[in-house]
Amino acid sequence: MSKLPIVILISGGGTNLQAIIDRAEKDLPVDIKAVISNKADAYGLERAKQAGIPTAVLEHRQFPDRESFDTALMELIDSYQPKLVLLAGFMRILTPDFVHHYHGRMFNIHPSLLPDFQGLHTHHRALEAEVEKHGASIHFVTEELDGGPIILQASVPVLPGDDAKTLAARVLEKEHIIYPLAVRWYAQGRLFLNENDEVVLDGKALTAPIQLEQAPDR
Ligand code: GRF
């Protein structure tokens, strides 16, 4: 099978990036054309270099406003001609033009069971809300921050004595499973966003996000 060209955007440590690199070195049919960071010191850039993947840094601070940064970012991404763009810990709010441009071909990973806990500090907020279950979601990116159609989720229990760090670590393990899995379905042409912005997997429009336990080929 031919490999899907993808570009991955990061801002930080890049453990999700690493999970995708590792799978791509085995059986995930993607060709990571570039890893782009808005921060020069993002450790994920090192991970990409070690895997022989081209990297680029586009620092938002060098741009006068959000629009000009996003326009430059779009041009940079498109120079690699990806079929799918992955936000993997990319900590920037994107403009509507940018989001429209990649409609149906951009995923984000968010560390909560969306629609719960959109935005930042999700683990801390989950603990404060005393939820029993927490987790992570993969979704198509739309204009609404962390609000696009959800593809796949994995949940973890919140355990007595958890703090934000222990909970984050438990969620992160699941993130590393669900991101490559959703990318696989897309690369295999089994997953897309239809004209009504519904997620379609294996010919069926989802009425609810897929849960990892019930997911095909996990
Ligand atoms: C992850 O928790 C991801 O869900 C969130 O930011 C974190 C990035 O982690 N958006 P990493 O850089 O992939 O290690």
For the segment 190-209, what is each residue's pLDDT rounded down to a tens digit?
Answer: 999 999 999 999 999 999 99
Length of the chain counted residue by residue: 218
**CA 192 to ligand 1 centroid distance, Å:** 23
Quote the pLDDT of residue 218. 80
pLDDT mean across residues, the chain? 97
Residue 209 sits in a domain whose CATH number is 3.40.50.170
Please say whether the beta carbons of 181 and 217 come within 8 A. yes
Count of CB atoms situated within 10 Å of the CB of 26: 7
Give the type of residue at 37: S
Mean pLDDT of 41-61: 98
Quote the pLDDT of residue 217. 87
Which residues form ligand 1's pocket by a CB distance below 6 Å? 10, 12-17, 44, 88-89, 109-111, 136, 172, 175
Cα separation, 8 vs 85, whole angstroms: 6
Cα separation, 78 vs 65, whole angstroms: 20
Which residue puts its alpha carbon closest to atom 10 of ligand 1? 89
In which band, very low, low, confident or very high, does the pLDDT at 145 lie, cut at 50, 70 and 90? confident
Which residue puts its alpha carbon closest to atom 1 of ligand 1? 89
Q: What is the pTM of this model?
A: 0.97
Hey, which residues does 155 pair with through a beta bridge?
A: 135
Q: Which residue has the tokens 């499973």?
A: 177
For a mutational test of ligand 1's pocket, the pick from 8, 11, 15, i.e. the residue with the most ligand atoms closer than 8 A to its C-beta, is 15
What residues make up the domain containing 100? 4-214
pLDDT at 1 over 80: no
Q: Report the DSSP pairing between strands 210-211 and 106-110.
A: unpaired
Q: Number of folded domains in the chain?
A: 1
- Secondary structure of 6-22 in the HEC alphabet? EEEEECCCCHHHHHHHH
Count of CB atoms situated within 10 Å of the CB of 201: 18
Cα separation, 139 vs 108, whole angstroms: 6
Quote the pLDDT of residue 147. 93
Q: Report the DSSP pairing between strands 150-157 and 133-140.
A: antiparallel
**CA 93 to ligand 1 centroid distance, Å:** 15
**CA 88 to ligand 1 centroid distance, Å:** 6
Q: Which residues of 132-141 are buried (b: 16+ CB within 10 A; e: fewer)?
A: eebbbbbbbb
Count of CB atoms situated within 10 Å of the CB of 180: 22
Cα separation, 111 vs 188, whole angstroms: 25
